[in-house]
Amino acid sequence: MVDPDPADGGDPSESDPVVAAIFDAVAATAPEIRAALPGRRVESGTDNPSGESVLAGDLYADELLADALTAVDGVGSFVSEERETAVDAGGAVGEGAYAVAIDPLDGSSNLRSNNAMGTVVGVYDAPLPATGRDLVAAGYVLYGPITTMIVADEEGVREEVVERESNGSGSRSVVEDDLTLPDDPLVYGFGGRVPDWPADFTAFAREIEDELKLRYGGAMVGDVNQVLTYGGLFAYPALVDAPEGKLRLSFEANPIAYIVERAGGAATDGDTDILDVEPEGVHDRVPLYVGNEGLVKRLEDALADG
């Protein structure tokens, strides 16, 4: 991945005009979401369908993205980590219209500590709950020192810089048009508390700690972006008291697995490719191990040998 230089940015290149319109809409909202964050670091007093407390920033991002995405021709429904049910946008999903699944503000607990966070996007050609094989595109916005967006589709994976226009809307330009995982892994980031890791994962983690550099920031989008940039492995593992882990399949694991696999990597729930995991519900959780193929294979062998 070359250093992003907006001055050399190129035009977005999705061949599917609806996918292009979806990521145009996501980029358009990014500056307004980013500008709203300083004033929305407080608890909203509500919980999401996963039972997690919701910050005002989560709700604001969810509302903006719902308005922007349900207005896109070709979007049939808007499904959010923050909502129990889908928002009907008109159009038959899977019969010419897409379902857009959103984690509006992934890593929102980083808002108080002013660390990276972002928005995760999955574009499904089937009503949810669906498997990752029904994804036609996926991406994420990363609110870091600069605002970037990763977009993956059948053409591959691109990194874009999102810039604020004079009218307040966001525009996107490609700064890396063929993003692939580096061959030699450099970093790792494993979530959850070490005492809650099962013994087989703990033993695997000890091996990796001797080989790679720790990069864990508490927001999946930021930690996965480290892996996409430098090569390595991100995991939010199965835990002793939470064998399904923490991350949601529809809104987090599937889109990230789609992106990383298109970039030449792999993603598993411990023994099955994430994209093949059959969900029962839209808010199902799943363990996620994602990154360089060789590391993912080593992880699966370590858990199989348990």
Helix (H, G, I), strand (E, B) or coil at 166: coil
Angle between helices 56-70 and 17-36 (to 10 degrees): 150
For residues 43 and 53, is the Cβ–Cβ distance under 8 A? yes
Least Å distance, CB 218 to ligand AFP, is 5
State which of residues 52, 155, 177, 196 lies at the interface with ligand AFP (CB under 6 A).
Answer: 52
Query: In this complex, which beta carbon is closest to ligand AFP, that of residue 227 or of residue 247?
Result: 247
Which CB atom, from 215 or from 246, has the smaller least distance to ligand AFP?
Answer: 246
How far, in Å, CA of 102 to CA of 180, rounded? 24
Check residue 144 for interaction with ligand AFP (CB under 6 A).
no
Distance CA 173, CA 11 (A): 5
Question: Is residue 158 at the binding interface for ligand AFP, with CB under 6 A as the rule?
Answer: no
Q: Where are the beta strands (DSSP E) in 4-125?
A: 43-47, 53-55, 75-80, 87-88, 98-106, 117-124
Instruction: State in Å, rounded, how far the first CA of the chain is from the last one.
Output: 35
Which region, judged by CB under 6 A, interacts with ligand AFP, from 102-110, 142-150, 177-185, 276-284? Answer: 102-110
Question: 192 vs 291, which CB is nearer to ligand AFP?
Answer: 192
Please count the other Cβ atoms lying within 10 Å of the Cβ belonging to residue 297: 12
- Nearest residue to 149 via CA among 274, 25, 7, 293: 25
Count of residues in contact with ligand AFP, rule CB under 6 A: 13
Q: Toward ligand AFP, which CB reaches closer, 13 or 114?
A: 114
**237 sits near ligand AFP (criterion: CB under 6 A):** no
Q: List the interface residues with ligand AFP, window 243-282 (CB under 6 A).
A: 246-247
Q: How far apart (Å, rounded) are the C-alpha atoms in residues 28 and 68?
A: 8
Task: Pick between residue 109 and residue 202 the one whose CB is nearest to ligand AFP.
Answer: 109
Residue 104, interface with ligand AFP (CB under 6 A)?
no
Residue list 163-202, contact with ligand AFP (CB under 6 A): 191-192
The contact set with ligand AFP (CB under 6 A) reads 52, 106-109, 191-192, 218-220, 236, 246-247
